[in-house]
A and B are shown apart, each in its own frame.
Chain A
Amino acid sequence: MTLFTLMMVVLQIGLTLGLVLFMVLYLILAERKIMGYMQGRVGPNRVGPLGILQTLADGIKFLHKEIILPAQSDYALFMIAPMISLVCAFVVWSVVPIAPGWVLADIDAGVVFVLAITSLGSYGILLGGWSSNSKYAFFGAIRSMAQMISYEIAMGFSLVPVLMVSGSMNLTQIVLRQSGGLLHWYFLPMFPIFAVFLISAVAETNRAPFDITEGETEIVAGYQVEYSGFIFAMYFIAEYTNMIFVSTMASLFFLGGWLSPFQGTPYFSLLFSWVPGVIWLLLKVLLFLYLFIWIRATFPRYRYDQLMMIGWKVCIPVSILWIFVVSLMILGGIL
């Protein structure tokens, strides 16, 4: 490997991370703005025109704040835990294609890699909650473990039909198998699976109405109750990065990734042929992100046992059932 290729790789990594962080910055602001308008208020509008610098200002504030280490905590784990969350949230982006060939690591086991790293990310929350040595944080850690494990399973099963139909674990291949327009995307033949995936995605990212690990009115802030300053911001960034990530995954697996919805439609495909694939992907991701925010503004939180019930009694059986349905569809030559 020459120095030039090495530099190119570093540049690509930097670009990807920069893009993700930029999206996180504005996702946080967008969430506050959108929820504000849904709730009859305007959201942040003081820092910069229309408040566009608000999150940046908050980030700087976090950097200035003292990191308080609880006296009874396990200092090393306490500091490492948010880093685990953040690193895992960033590492998964290495296998995400944003256009044909635009991917850092075009590995064949992309889906497995994604599932593995997202599972690893829950260690950040577990260790953070446990090492704080606080009762509320401990509750948060226990809850998050149970939740993560249950919904890992549901999410894993919900991806099996996708892999069966596409015949590949490579994310680029999965997207390319969906080419041929809106009707060839996987969300139509696998709609129940799509719903299960979305529900698991919300649960995996600890977002309302499945935010029992934070549960700010029950266990105060759960695993992050003892965190302050920038180590808190790490959790925060990791959560929002994960949100963007699962939205991207949903777009890649079920909405044809960067493919245009008008592919194959006689007239429209020409009309929209100038739109680059990245824009289509971005639109789909934004659609899911908006959905996340909308759900948060609308629903109350589930209770811990109800959450587990949905995971084990609804999501997992539905996805297993649909594996058989999809098998039959493949046998029948429909897919």
Chain B
Amino acid sequence: MMIDLVSRSNALGELKNFTFNFGPQHPAAHGVLRLVVEVEGETVVQIDPHIGLLHRATEKLMESKPFNHSIGYMDRLDYVSILPNEHVYVMAIEQLLGLKVPKRAQYIRVMFDEISRILNHLLVLGSTALDMGALTPWFYTFREREILMDCYEAVSGARMHANYYCPGGVLRDLPNRMAQFEESPWRFSSEIKDLNAPRSGSLLDYIQYFTDIFPARCDEYEALLTDNRIWKQRTVGISPIDADRALALGFTGPMLRSTGYMRDLRVDQPYAVYDALDFNIALGKTGDCYDRYLVRVAEMRESNRIIQQCVDWLRRHKGPVVSDHPKVVPPTRERSKMYMEEMIHQFKHFSEGYSVPEGETYAAVEHPKGEMGVYMVSDGANKPYRVKIRAAGFPHLQALNELCRGHMLSDVVVILASMDIVFGEIDR
């Protein structure tokens, strides 16, 4: 017997189910997820997710470093939507410090949170389609992601791990000019001209350009998928869940809203400047994979509207982008070169950091994947006493067994993709 389907103890004996490993090296495992899947034929009997392969002890590391050193760690949590991670962390510090954030910084944060939301949802959309065997949407969504990555790069210098928000605001104001493509033997000069055309103005012009073209691009994805019969056969009715059960399992974000339950922190407990902006919340009905997809596409369109409003506001209002708190915010480069005290202050800021008053707080943002929270306890030192991160993906993953049971092996891939799992935040 080559494959041990029949138990060896008894030649005619009871049939055993087929158990196999799905991951940690699997094209559809979305990182380093290992699933032990038990199937009967192709129908899933049980799924046991094994996590921890990407565990880096982020929370413990944060306890051993000054507050301002850990912002970069937040980038590495959910490495698909980076800036909302930072947002929740700096929000927690600001709450403990009672720090006021300038209006312009808040608009910049909201704009980049929404840019991250589009980045995230584009990835989910593309990879869900890819996991189902549709190759093309992936390339289309990555074409748009490239534009948004350039926005990240323009403000922070890094395409992914931006490290752009800081307690009290953002590190620097939006740049007035965009980086240009240069002549190279690998591109035609006409091509370079086309590439540079939207980059002739400031970053805001470039984002404006994106918001103008994006609705048409959304239509393009939807033309490929929304009414595609195969897509619908693969997603409609796959892993439906009702709102009560979803709440009991701790679902948030698009996973919860696709069941028709209205919960969005941007509306329920508005942070930053979300209460000044006009946007709608997309709700689903059945909570199946198709509704999750529809909710995400609708959210992208709404995010696009929010970005447009932010761009308008930012064009009209100039001002500081970081608070003037002398301890939390480092001195400017000019001042630190000019005054000895500022030089010392600069050194102390980046080595020792600052002390945060004793207390505890919980900050949460509507992360693209759901509610992302940071519970922070400070004992008055320059390091947090305890940081606990609530990753949105963790409760979603724990429902995997429940959602997949009774579906087929091919559906596991779809369900996993529609959950929008990123291992950086689940394993922390």
Contact = CB atoms under 8 A, between A and B. Distances in A.
A133 interface: yes
Interface stretch (B128-136, B342-350, B378-386): B128-136
B44 to A, nearest CB: 12
Given A39-B140, A298-B134, 14 more contacts: A35-B136, A39-B139, A135-B18, A208-B133, A215-B410, A217-B27, A217-B413, A218-B409, A218-B410, A298-B136, A298-B224, A300-B225, A300-B231, A305-B42
A122 B18 CA distance: 24
A301 interface: yes
Contacts of B2: 74, 130-131, 133
Contact of A300 (B20, B234, B412): B234
B228 interface: yes
B233 interface: yes
Interface residues of A, number: 34
B133 A209 contact: yes
Interface residues of B, number: 33
Counting from the closest, the 5 A-B pairs by CB-CB distance are A301-B133, A300-B132, A39-B139, A300-B134, A217-B28
Contacts of B27: 216-217, 220
A299 interface: yes
B42 A304 contact: yes
Nearest to A35: B135
Contacts of A296: 135
B337 interface: no
A297 B135 contact: yes
B230 interface: yes
Interface string A213-237: 0011111100000000000000000
Contacts of A306: 233-234
Interface string B9-29: 000000000101100001110
Interface string A35-72: 10011110000000000000000000000000000000
Contacts of A133: 2-3
B371 interface: no
A136 interface: yes
A219 B230 CA distance: 19
A212 interface: yes
Interface in B398-425: 408-413
Contacts of A130: 2-3
Interface in A177-213: 208-209, 211-212
B327 interface: no
B245 interface: no
15 contacts: A131-B2, A133-B3, A135-B21, A139-B42, A209-B133, A209-B230, A217-B132, A218-B409, A300-B134, A300-B228, A300-B231, A300-B234, A303-B411, A304-B408, A304-B410
B177 interface: no
